[in-house]
Amino acid sequence: MTEHADLVITGADVYTVDAARSWSDAIAVRGDRIVAVGSEPVSELIGPRTRVIEAAGGMVLPGFQDAHIHAPFAGRNRLRVWLNDLVGRPAYLDRIARYTADNPDQPWIIGGGWAMESFPGGTPRKEDLDAIAPDRPVFLFNRDVHGAWVNSRALEIAGITRDTPDPDDGRIERDPDTGEPTGTLHEGAAYSFNDRYVPLPGRAEWEEAILNAQEYLHSLGITGWQDAWVTPGTLEAYRSLAASGRLTARVVGALWWERHRGLDQIPEFLTQRESARVGNFHPTTVKIMTDGVLENYTGALLEPYCDGCGGHTDNRGLTFVDRELLAAAVTELDRLDFQVHLHAIGDRAVRNALDAVAAARTANGRSDNRHHIAHLQLVHPKDVPRFRQLGVTANCQAYWAQMEPQMEELTLPFLGQERADLQYPFGDLLRSGATLTMGSDWAVTTANPLEQIEVAVTRIDPENRDNAPFLPDQALPLPVALAAFTAGSAYVNHDADGGTIAVGKRADLAVLDRNLFAAGAGLPADARVTHTIAGGTLVYERP
């Protein structure tokens, strides 16, 4: 007797993303597995209870996997003050004011998502927030989560005055005439404030945030991700959701390396990996942030920043983890079979990260831990071939590789033309033989894989397609970009059952309303996800 399929998709072009980049025309699912590919074997598995999705003219892909995302924090902000979908100071202030008025019992106004280019010099002021919430503290991370906007009440609670020194790993923005804090906290100044004063969510609140994010990500065809900032609080929420079956995505958790500590925290990671690995949750990675960002001059550079006026400064940015400690940490984590996920924006940070992996290779030999470096905004040409040589995966945030106001106003003048031309060298990395994966860094920018893939192949903002491409020699072919967001991310997530479509693989699938390769299909961001299947379960259907 033939055991019928639970779910069948017909009528669509099935892009398997296998080694041959082969195509088919139908797919059948039973339980959480793909049981047939191709119209002839699939037709034999359709029974009276089989759910059949007729996707004529559509395209089936492996479920997208996001290799660098902050789902709990994005979900929490979506439930609080969510500014990511807005543009400009007036719109921000209007939403903050409405949230404040609608939530009079909230002791803190928290959230984030404001863009630096919306304010002179990238630094908003406390007076705007004082006018909205004079008696309650306000703390709003910016879109890239490397700075925060606070009001006078928040500064008062923290005791931050003109006499408060800057932390070693950050900066308090000050009025140039009076020295008074103006309301923007950079890097470590923002993180330490958040850790010490902003009330921590409980497990139930973190669970709600993750579920909110998961629902949204499923609507974009995303069936798995690597969370690049797992704290003890979000770890427990993930563990609880996975144990109860509510975590329908497959998630790798990158445990957060505390930059003010050393190797003493590694035993804690071992305990967390052992205690929280359950169901769809795999806390098998450690995330180390090695530097800041270029827009606030904390990204670590080999040569000093320009001053924006044709000259140079003596500022080479910040190194959050000393390079010797970084090498020791990566070596020990590698020995213990942790994957290491490294944040590196500036060329000095990228070199330090590669040197750390090289030290681990020398001490431990080659491993299958699949270490990866995220962001890679500025990579010295001499370091490009080292990714392949060391077996380091390039974790690309493709949406950033476009010309937009932040790039024009806060980055290019402070890098100079020679370095500006080295940004986001995804094409060079591909040509050098590096393995590529992709992640959004949501909520820093869009979580939509199709928008990110479009920027990867055009180097142009999907919302401003008449713009000139940004360093077009670094664009990726469409098959490469799709593979990076599916098979590449599955590779870095140690997910042998995901990332491609084949009989026996886990049924993680995204159905689009068009074939991205077809004539007349438009650009990738024109497409829409119609269905998402995660582990054989239909988790999203477009209304």
DSSP string, 280-330: TEEEEEEEEE----TTTT-S--SSPPB-SSS-B-S-----SS-HHHHHHHH
Q: Which percentage of the chain shows pLDDT scores above 90?
A: 94
Q: Which fold has domain 7-63+503-541?
A: Urease, subunit C; domain 1 (2.30.40)
pLDDT over 60 (residue 52) = yes
Can you tell me whether residue 223 is helix, strand or coil?
strand
CA dist list (Å): 430 to 16, 130, 266, 507: 21, 49, 33, 29
* Beta strand residue intervals within 415-536, DSSP E: 436-438, 509-512, 529-534
pLDDT at position 296: 86
Q: Which percentage of the chain shows pLDDT scores above 70?
A: 100
What pLDDT, in 10s, does the model give residues 453-501?
Answer: 999 999 999 999 999 999 999 999 999 999 999 999 999 999 999 999 9
Q: Residue written as tokens 């940015």?
A: 317
Confidence band, pLDDT 50/70/90 cuts, at residue 431: very high
How far is Cα 285 from Cα 134, in angstroms, rounded to an integer? 42
pLDDT at position 1: 55
pTM of the predicted structure, to 2 decimals: 0.91
Can you tell me whether residue 47 is helix, strand or coil?
coil
pLDDT over 90 (residue 420) = yes
How far is Cα 109 from Cα 154, in angstroms, rounded to an integer? 10
Q: What mean pLDDT do residues 156-181 have?
A: 94
CATH architecture of structural domain 108-197: Roll (3.10)
Domains of the chain, residue spans: 7-63+503-541, 108-197, 203-493
pLDDT over 90 (residue 309) = no
Task: Write down the CATH superfamily of domain 203-493.
Answer: Metal-dependent hydrolases (3.20.20.140)
pLDDT over 70 (residue 236) = yes
**Residue 399 is encoded by which pair of tokens?**
């949406």
pLDDT at position 12: 98
β-pair type (51-54, 7-15): parallel
Q: What mean pLDDT do residues 414-428 have?
A: 96
Q: What mean pLDDT do residues 258-281 have?
A: 97
pLDDT at position 534: 98
Measure the CA angle with vertex 174, ends 173 and 179; round to 5°.
155
